[in-house]
Amino acid sequence: MNTQNPSSNDILTPLKKSDFPHIQIVQASAGSGKTYTLTQRVVQFLLSQSILNNEINNIMAITFTKNATNDIKNKVLEWVKKIYLDQLSKEEKKQIIQLIGTDNKDLTSLASKSIEEILNNYSDLVLTIDSFITKIIRSSAIELGLNPDFEVDVSSNSIIDYAFDEFLESVSDSDLRKFLIFLNEYSNQNIDFQVVKSIKKKLNYLLDQESSHKSFFIFDEQIINKLKLELEPILDEMLNLLEQYSAQKIRGNTGPAKISSLKNALKEKNVLSVLANKIKFPYKDKLAELQWKGCFEEINSKLYTIARTKNFPYLKLFVEFKKHIVKTYNILGKTFLPDVNKRIVNLLEKGYVPTIYFTLGSYIYHYLIDEFQDTSKMQWEILKPLIEESLSKGGSLFIVGDLKQSIYGFRKADFEIMKNLIEHTEKIFPQSRCISRSLNYNYRSFEHIVNYSKKVFKEYLKDIINETNDPTHYLDFEAIPLNEHLSKGYVKTQLFNFENDEGINCIKESLLKTIDDLLKNGYKLEQIAILAHTNEEINTISGWLLEKNYTVLSQSASDIRQRKIINEIMQLLKFFNNPLDNLSLAAFLLGDVFNFFLKRDKIINFLLENRSNKILYINFKNTFKDTWDTFFKDTFNSIDHIPVYELLLNIIKRFKIDENFQQESHYLSFLLDKILELEQSGINDMGSFIEYFENNAQGESNLFSCEFSKAQEGIQLLTIHKSKGLQFDVVINILNADKNYALNPNKKSGKQNEFVFENENENSLDYLFIKKDFLANDTLNSVYSNALLKGNIENFNILYVALTRAKMQMYNFIYYKQTDKPQCPIIEEEVGTKLSSFSKELTADANRNFVRFSVSYNKLLTQSPAWTIKRIKDSKKGEIYHKLLAHLKYEEDFLKLDELVLKYTKFIESDADRIKQQILHILNVDELKKLFDKSNKVFTEKTFIDKNGKIFRMDRVVIDSNGYITVLDYKTGNFTAQEIAEYKSQVLNYINILKDFFDSDNVFGIIYNINTKGVIKVEQGLFD
């Protein structure tokens, strides 16, 4: 078996001028070296002398996450550095020489030049898709009708929440009543008691959906009125037929109750209820039967409009809500990216592509896209015409992806984009030839794990997959283990069924025993990962493990409101907010935090003695006076004057929470950050914060979900979605068969009946209501079936990702509720032999993705809650100064200051003349004026990288004619002595970086405060 790296030998080949334009599609199964291949392709393009237009600014590598972006950047730079330092193995050097088509003697000089280019363009070497689109929009801001220096906000919940509150205030009570009547009359909706919360949830859903489509939702009341006029005579005719023949005997199995329900629906003109109670004509009369059938045929001909208008009440509100969002963003000087995406698509459709390349400042000839299966339709609408233009100029497109790992449908990823490109490349890009390759070797998993994952899909799930026509090629994909992985690995699959409400608890005992056995066999906690589908499952399992005193780490979203210590703190805050809240005070006193200072048995006795007391805290204060004075008194007496942030810091210090619960440090730090965020959005009093904390929806994207990135010794818990791209020595999969079509096909009929459909005939988005009664309409049937299919395919893909993360051992715990129907098609089995851990080291992948988390908690506890509204405004002004000064390289550039100030201040509230005068003053300061001399070499907003790979952006770096280097750092505002010391330390760090970068000791630093006109010189001391 071939043990060489097939991604380099078989996938990438030397390229010459005649090979362009071309498209190369690489289908990469899990663990097959996808990132390695993409990295090699980038290095090949940067170093090759046979490829035209291969300067770094002519190449665009695109990924979908910031982590992937940084990973590929680092690997490209690492490869080029190894070439330059001659650290490649013989095989690697042979491979690179073959790829770039050069002699060994030229490698070093090519790599040297490439390193300099990479460092000069490091931030743009690889971009996320959102960053690239933002770059396009920013370069074309004027054409899009935007402020040239606009701020992009992808999904600011606080801004949208504010817009919703403004919207609600603008809606009169009479309008809200009309909406509720409208909702009841036309949509047959049940209105819950939390109507405002329900409306907000629906409007946010519509906003998310509209953001991912080219078209907009519209509301046209004429459509409803027209439908009503058309349906009314039909419904009257049906009611008359039933009344006319009601004296006759009912035929068939139709009961009187069914007829009565239908009559009521016809009287109320409720067409949805009519369809739900559809029956054959219940009386014997051929003519009446024909009339009855004709009425339903008429209704069926209007099914699409009926499905469309059911949710019109919400669309009416949404259109108004959207106006408030746009208004709010405009006030803040921000731009909502999804709406601008539509504008850029519109420009591209009008042939604007060459102009975009012109405004970008460079022509992109070569596109390399990672994880292509995660592309959304809107993203592809933008990328496709740009790629088309590049191919027409002799460029190339290189994509890697795996249809089987498309699991981000909730983010609007659409695997069909990649599928269509694979199958119909000649139709999509007719001017270019296409090369299609597959990465078939699995570098991650041992043989028994590789073969088991194939067996699941090709044998156990074969019949179910055939029902979907296998669009993602599960029945013919290849995965070949490496020679060194043959006959190794272990898989154990267990099935658990439960009755009533036991749920996931049915696996608890077996899961804990499995972990215990692994530890006895020499595995360390950090070699074990537990994957589950939902955060709720993760939180439950985390509780089990903590009960057994295991250290638990999580890289998945974790709601801090599930943390016991956080909840105890919140109970104390609730008491301070309302001293009559006896329950909250009692809950805090009985908790772990207070137990360090007063034993729980004393508290229990006190509570029992005072259980009938209406004001508990007064008796507590009298009974435990010293304790009250030490821990409660100061805060209690000043509660109205302390911001929430400061109050929480005081609580943490006073109750020594940071010392007694060090494992909670990350959660506490995260909570403090969130309080600052909420203060910025206007939630800055205790009552508002408590209400927001308790009512903000839990889930994947809620404000209080935090992510961890640590390499401590602990069991790693992740959702399956978060595990994509990672690997672990041992994986334990927790799989709920009742939530996954692949594991329980009986669950395929989902409850979804609301769908968003792009109506190209009317250039609008339609919010459709579809039930099985509506499937007589071809369009509705297609929308419904396609959504169901995609949902089922994503279930297959989620299972595939789960089964392909393990390196050495994998345990599958599949649980489901017991029913009479056949359940999981996967059987219980045990494959391979258990291995003891042969390595005390973490796998390279795990070590990379779980870096150690550290927080200077003393620093955190002494910092000030500085982010007030005033601070935000000051920060905005500071940004303006920096952007203006970035344009002023030399003294002559100050002549265009009027134009620049107008450009950057016309969209926000600011004193333009004052800004101008403060900047002009720089030329009156001798130490600064010489830094703008024409003879200098100047870098503004320049990115540098230190020895550890950290990135720093410096305001201004000047090299004078004598080779002396000065770094100038601009500041605005008034600062404390501590802050000045921190700024000096920052500039000293810049000096060290520049010394290493330019190999010079003649480096100096200056801090200039634009507001106070103060100049601080920064030099290293003799012993620094």
The overall average pLDDT reported for the chain is 84
Among 169-178, 402-411, 457-466, 724-733, the minimum mean pLDDT is found in: 169-178
Smallest CA-to-CA distance from 806 within 831, 829, 824 is with 831
- The residue among 816, 832, 848 that closes a domain is 832
Tens digit of each residue's pLDDT (9 = 90 or more) over 941-970? 887 766 665 667 788 999 999 999 999 999
- More confident site: 258 or 199: 258
- Same domain for 686 and 749, yes or no, is no
pLDDT at 828 over 70: yes
542 belongs to an annotated ligand binding site: no
Q: What is the domain count for the chain?
A: 5
Residue 804 Cα distances to 32, 213, 518, 808, angstroms: 11, 33, 20, 11
**What mean pLDDT comes out for the span 864-879?**
46
- The residue among 312, 332, 352 that closes a domain is 332
In a domain, residue 865? The reply is no
Task: Assign residue 781 a region (left: φ > 0; alpha: ψ between -120 and 50; beta: otherwise).
Answer: alpha
d(CA 940, CA 832): 60
- Same domain for 568 and 497, yes or no, is no
35 belongs to an annotated ligand binding site: yes
The three-state DSSP-derived secondary structure of 744-792 is CHHHCCCCCCEEEEEECCCCEEEEEECCHHHCCCHHHHHHHHHHHHHHH
Residue with tokens 């002396």: 964
- Same domain for 457 and 543, yes or no, is yes
- Same domain for 952 and 977, yes or no, is yes
**What mean pLDDT comes out for the span 474-503?**
93
Q: 962: exposed, middle or buried (C-beta count within 10 Å: 0-12, 13-18, 19+)? A: exposed
In a domain, residue 703? The reply is no
Where residue 429 falls among pLDDT bands split at 50, 70, 90?
A: very high
Residue 669 Cα distances to 568, 596, 652, 681, 799, angstroms: 16, 21, 11, 19, 35
pLDDT at 856 over 60: no
In a domain, residue 1023? The reply is no
Structure tokens at 898: 């009027």
750 belongs to an annotated ligand binding site: no
In a domain, residue 813? The reply is yes
Tens digit of each residue's pLDDT (9 = 90 or more) over 302-334? 999 999 988 888 898 899 888 888 888 777 767
Most confident of 457-466, 716-725, 869-878: 457-466
User: Which domain, by its residues, includes 477?
Assistant: 450-556+711-759+771-832
- Same domain for 819 and 967, yes or no, is no
Where residue 451 falls among pLDDT bands split at 50, 70, 90?
A: very high
In a domain, residue 848? The reply is no
Tens digit of each residue's pLDDT (9 = 90 or more) over 778-825? 999 999 999 999 999 999 999 999 999 999 999 999 999 887 666 789
In a domain, residue 852? The reply is no
28 belongs to an annotated ligand binding site: yes
Report pLDDT for 822.
Answer: 63
Where residue 144 falls among pLDDT bands split at 50, 70, 90?
A: confident
pLDDT at 675 over 50: yes
d(CA 753, CA 454): 34
pLDDT at 627 over 90: yes
- Same domain for 630 and 658, yes or no, is yes
CATH code of 609's domain: 1.10.486.10
Residue with tokens 């009503």: 228
32 belongs to an annotated ligand binding site: yes
CATH code of 130's domain: 3.40.50.300
- Same domain for 896 and 1014, yes or no, is yes
- Same domain for 522 and 597, yes or no, is no
In a domain, residue 92? The reply is yes
Report pLDDT for 712.
Answer: 56
Structure tokens at 794: 């994503």
Where residue 368 falls among pLDDT bands split at 50, 70, 90?
A: very high
- Same domain for 604 and 688, yes or no, is yes
Taking each helix axis from N to C terminus, what angle separates 665-680 and 157-170, rounded to the nearest 10 degrees? 40
**What mean pLDDT comes out for the span 105-132?**
85
Which amino acid is residue 987, in one-letter code? V
**What mean pLDDT comes out for the span 599-605?**
87
- Same domain for 141 and 155, yes or no, is no
- Same domain for 344 and 358, yes or no, is yes
In a domain, residue 765? The reply is no
Among 280-289, 428-437, 904-913, the minimum mean pLDDT is found in: 904-913
- Same domain for 476 and 582, yes or no, is no
Where residue 681 falls among pLDDT bands split at 50, 70, 90?
A: low
- More confident site: 514 or 316: 514
Q: Are 27 and 42 in contact (CB under 8 A)?
A: no
